[in-house]
Amino acid sequence: MPIVIIGSGTMGSGIAEVLLACGGSAVLVDPDAAARERAQTRIAKNLARSFEKGRIVEQPEDCLARLDMSDTPPVDGVEWVIEAVPEDVALKQRLFGELDARYPETVWLASNTSSIAIGRLQSCTRHPERVGGLHFFNPVPRMQLVEIIRGLETSEDYLAAARTLTKRLGKIGVIVPDRPGFLVNRVARSYYLEALRMVDEGQAPMELVDEVMEGAGFPMGPFRVMDLVGVDVNLSVTRSVYEQTYYDERYRPHPWQEELVERGYWGRKSGRGFYRYE
């Protein structure tokens, strides 16, 4: 059965790419035709690169033959629907209400949200037990961890099916509670926010902070990670955790991030974030 992925941005196309690379089929849904075209081009390019480097053995064109692009999600022959739209509570709640009405209760519904409470999405459905979180990390093909988020009413059958799916995708699925930031993003707030405060206070330049953290064993320093993930995405997650923890000062968004986002400096995807990119 194909897996339906709603949203063809970085995360949605990344999930689709991983699914195709492991022999699965995907339907990538986005109402924006230009966005669908960009996603298909990105997936084709990444699969070709993976084949050249020996990461996959199947021909890229054979993988792509199992990808369908659509402006509306199919109804029949679906087991999983994974939502990967922007981090907007109202948008996600509206979408889950529509998906719940569209699909029978045997279809599992998952959100790739980074920080929005699964309970808030379950509240919009008639069958909250079949709703949970599958939080993939960017870049999806390289990052092994997937947080399987257990909402208040998420069923044990859902969790078992999620474990099976993540294993099928070659990922490590870990069940985490439905708490602000879940597990990884809750811990990671300190990594980013302390780095921002240190540089803002003049204790060290950001290049040195990145260099030291990478020298200490982190794959990427905090500023390079924020540019890779997207400064706008990182700020959105920070705001969400801050609000959900009743404005705990530890998670207050930093003005430097807000300034970059307001000016459109979103990181690699916009050509400039904390660093400049060609």
SS3 of the chain: the string is: CCEEEECCCHHHHHHHHHHHHCCCCEEEECCCHHHHHHHHHHHHHHHHHHHHCCCCCCCHHHHHCCEEEECCCCCCCCCEEEECCCCCHHHHHHHHHHHHHHCCCCCEEEECCCCCCHHHHHCCCCCHHHEEEEEECCCCCCCCEEEEEECCCCCHHHHHHHHHHHHHCCCEEEEEECCCCCCHHHHHHHHHHHHHHHHHCCCCCHHHHHHHHHHCCCCCCHHHHHHHHCHHHHHHHHHHHHHHCCCCHHHCCCHHHHHHHHCCCCEHHHCECCCECC
The active-site residue, picked from 147, 234, 240, 254, is: 147
The active-site residue, picked from 50, 135, 153, 236, is: 135
Q: Is 185 a catalytic residue?
A: yes
The active-site residue, picked from 114, 115, 234, 240, is: 114
Q: Is 147 a catalytic residue?
A: yes
Residues 111, 92: contact at Cβ < 8 Å? yes
The active-site residue, picked from 115, 185, 236, 240, is: 185
Q: Is 155 a catalytic residue?
A: no
Catalytic residue numbers?
Answer: 114, 135, 147, 185
